[in-house]
Structure 1
Amino acid sequence: MSTGRRTWGDWQLDRRSFVRHSACTLALLSLPGPLFPLLSSEIQLGFIKPHPALFYQVRPQQKVKCRLCPRGCEVKPGERGDCGVRENRKGSYYTLVYGNPCAVHVDPVEKKPFFHVLPGTPTYSIATAGCNLHCIFCQNWEISQTKPEATYNYDLPPENVVAAAQKGSCPSIAYTYVEPIIFYEYMLDTARLAKKAGILNICHSAGYISPEPLAMLAEVLDAACIDLKAFDNRFYQELVDGELEPVLNTLKTLRRRGVHVEIVNLVIPQKNDRPETIDAMCRWIREELGPLTPLHFSRFFPLYKMKNHYPTPVSTLEQARQIALQAGLKYVYLGNLPGNPAENTYCHHCGQLIIGRRGFTVGERNLKDGKCRFCGTKIPGIWGI
């Protein structure tokens, strides 16, 4: 008998079905208007529709003070904030990334990565150009470190994002690839519509956001995967062009507001892989967010301005995981290592395998109604909507 409540198993696809499903959806996204009317007839270089921005103060001489993120940019008329996507037009602030994503895909939710949110399901994923951080190791630098007039953009307003997610049978919408905070207004309006439609809102973010906009976003956000890039402020200043403290505050706020949180730490050799620093980070997570908070250690590969660096040794990742487990964290994963047993989810009470994975593919499942099938322990996460 149907209970009216869908669980992650209702969307579960085997590998062949998922590939076929994703390929069909991506093919639809590339077709012209009559065949897929939710997108414009063609993708357009530099397509922009200025939209009033939130969270700013008007200053003398038509300057504006942005309050969206900790940078607090003071922007003169005709200029933009550090993110490159928010512009002062005669004393009024506008976002140039509203309804014009440059990346639209259907991904497995594990790619974000979320391991405790509807495993094995597709998520409708969007991103615009721009970012409020400048990581020298960014994997999506082609779109994050540029401006919207330099990318090919879709005309995809919030209502069409939700409709497309429904059409593609996606139980969630992911705001991802770049820092979604910079397309805040677009994300917020889409998330509000998605929530009304019964679709989960999930995001992958660096967590570099001011308290007031974060509080508003938390009202409609179901899950957040936050990049805790290092537990070292010097790393943030030199490699990210940011600060650590605002990210820690974001994590604590999300936890307090009941948003499901998973953390990603990209382990870069000789940059943020000192055992004592990793131990301090893990103990902070345990004490401030709880021992059941999922933590993903991800393998670094040379990209962007760190092309001459070398990939993370597997032994370094395995050592980081052992440090985390010894610090008391219960769900510690290794990413960018397909086939490694640390991709799997094991019950924190009885130790049995409850979700088996290889890369983005979900295999064995021993979870029922959010509980371990072997011992009945409740597993943290979102397993149904």
Structure 2
Amino acid sequence: MKIVILGAGVIGVSTAYYLARDGHEVVVLDRQPGPALETSYANAGEVSPGYSSPWAAPGIPAKAMKWLFMKHSPLIIQPRADGATLRWMAAMLRNCTAARYAVNKGRMVRLAEYSRDCLMEMREATGISYDERMQGTLQVFRTQKQIDGVGKDIEVLRADGVPFEMLDRAGCVAAEPGLAAAAQKIVGGLRLPGDETGDCFKFTNALATLCEGLGVRFRYNVSIDGLRLEGDRIAAVKTGQGEVTGDVVVAALGSYTPALLSPLGFDLPIYPVKGYSITVPIVNAARAPVSTVMDETYKIAITRLGDRIRVGGMAEIAGFNHDLPPARRATLEHSVEDLFGGAGDQSKASFWTGLRPMTPDGTPIIGPTRVPNLFINAGHGTLGWTMSCGSGRVLADLVSRRKPAIEAGDLALTRYG
């Protein structure tokens, strides 16, 4: 079949790889001049199946009120009264129960663990390189209360067979020697040895090159203007360069997927939650992180990417906004300097923002729709890099009418009714 994929981020390119490997003719369309130039460009760099958790969790409403008054808050809500923002926030609050959290986290960990396995298989088969490291993730706790609150996550990790270690202060420093100077600021940590790190931008570009070797055609600088229906099927994708036809269309446009599908009567609960990162050149390797350290207090990920440190995090409810406020940069700088002071040269850091496509329950939307030849692979939130290979593989299986290796029925749009 001829497959038209809309979007050349890490999700779209991963999907193209698996579909091309199945022997399909694949065309990828994107408005940017190359792959991974939007949300996939400078994310936190972690491939963290064990840390795959929905933002909607018990206690989050109370925590959110506290966060709003923090100087370096992990959550920022800009005053907005539009219906899309209010509906999404209400849906997210409905998922902040213990029962829904357990279901959502279990679903996310299932997909993320599978995705990590797919990435390992791809790396072995292709030799793809992207500043990868396989040295785990360390979630650092600054208070005993944070340690006491991690029990629900550990229950899910145990249930899914995800390896983990609870570490005291000395254990954290042993795992991440760069924390030595900040040891008195932490009380313990949760280490996930199966997690990985890597540069998502480098990965996506390297994978796009592999895709081209499999016959995938990438068409960049192409605006995607809509979908033309004939009967109950997509007849063509309308672009600024004319119509593009195919047997199947895959919508992988991240936060922009709802706008594309809305004229067809779809109401996708995907919202552009804004995140930020800085990329800092390392000047003292002994003080730098070995892998990824999650600063639980500020919800900031600090990741080693070759000779750079990527510091990413925060969730800002601000709609489609790409401003770069100095206060957000200050939060990122504070977290990394507080834990790994002197490791990087902040004067040479680059500052970036991206719109994470978040669903209210944290799980992406992957699968078919009521339009027989239209599939969705979007809504991965902060975990697009972590879930990319598994999501692409599942979608390719569904398009090729194979049963995926993991349960995928609850990933589809139908879970929203």
TM-score normalised by the chain length of structure 1: 0.24
| Higher relative contact order, chain-length normalized (CA < 8 Å, sep 6+) | 2
TM-score normalised by the chain length of structure 2: 0.23
Q: Which structure shows the higher helix fraction?
A: 2
